[in-house]
Structure 1
Amino acid sequence: MIFIQQSLAQMPPVVPLTNALTAIYCHNSDEPGIMTIRCGPNEKIRMLDAFDATAKHRSRLPIQCLKRRLFSRESNEDVNAADCKVHTSFTSACSGRENCTLHMQRIRLNSAQDNCHNELADYTMAFFECISDVFIHDVCSPQAITSAWGTLQTPNFPNPYTSSDDCWCKLSTQLQHRLLLSIIVFQLIPYDKHCAGAGLYLQSSNEQRSTQCTYLQQGHNYLSDANTLYINFYSRTPTVRGGFWIIYE
């Protein structure tokens, strides 16, 4: 099976499948705090984006933070200057969970390309959506998948998969159509071309496992070259990795 990666230079913008939601934490002081991202019963978090930010003018603070006692730029405000925003790295930790508690600590932001020059963060903002369990399928489940779109994940995701999985899953669409895979999370054990510990195989039939496993980049999209796709996941080695979570449509 040959795939065409749609974004070669950079990750494409993340598009929500349902309705995008927002969580904001206001850094009122240098003391640590808690930020909670939560979905409803029978729903799971899919992180879309998250960043720490410093507002160059108080008028651009989120409304939740306007009543704060502390503002990092009480003097020398510049209404015309672009705000400082630096992407955070906690998105993988929350995806796949019903709720996610994050321990927050106010930090200084340094990134010239993001207009950040050793400035204290004013707030942290996270964009996410809540995906119903109806659209979340275990890649090793024998249940037939009939929805036009949905997601596939390794057993126990986001907790570690077991060391004894070997299962096949079939995706198909109408003739003259192709399948699009969007990678939310991909964290198998360190990748090697032989996939000795765990592997994901994408191919056009289930008659024989391919000789080469597949590495998918988190945040990227892949397009099949046919209307049918067989997915084989297997694991041989215990791991602390969460596995993968993939959107199909």
Structure 2
Amino acid sequence: MKTLKVILLGCALAAPALLAAGSANAQVAGVAVANPEAVILGAKALGTAFQTIGTTYKPQLDQARTRQTQLEAQIKTLSAPLDTNKDGQISQAELQAGQAAKSPALTQIENAQKAAQQEMSRLTQPATLAQMYAIDQITQKYPAALKTVVDAKKISLLLSADSVIFGTPAVDVTDDIRTAVDAAAPTVPVTPPANWQPSQQDAQLLQQYFQIANAQAQRAQQAAPTPGAKPTTPAPGR
């Protein structure tokens, strides 16, 4: 596992599209590149595991979302004294003025945030632990899947994707390794054993997973047509 950790921590996460994009199956002269993080985060078993976790812990996750909404409303109310121009927003100047005046609203907001964060952490902890456990189980399948692809394709030199300045799609074996991982682990358990503790790598991968998911959601939202907007008709001849 030490070798894998070095590979993972030294490799930048692929763009979200890479998790689903295909790559050619051949490599050039025994040289290939791969993105270990894209393999793990794009594994079919991980998507299935996260769906199961979302269903299993839905009550707690719903409570956490409700608490987040409550916190936002609470902060809006507590921030009212700082909003001196009554535009519904706290500018940097208004914040600095509140700090200079030692406004009690700032302390109240800080206390409200701490209390809510503690509660939300308690509610989401079981699901988060299960998610990291699923990631850990897939990570353990990576070395054997890598060896399978290296042996099958007679790869003599494998580079991390982020260390390559230029390369054709033919040298990328990320999808091949992911296919081997999917074959070796169609599913993974999501219930951690008693006293199981996640590694820093598990936590980092989970954070990166949600960064990708959030980026994809934002792009989808930006690409979605505005309700009520009329479609644009192309000009004749174009």
Larger radius of gyration: 2
- Common fold, TM-score beyond 0.5? no
Q: TM-score, normalised by structure 2?
A: 0.23
Higher relative contact order (CA 8 A, sep 6+): 2
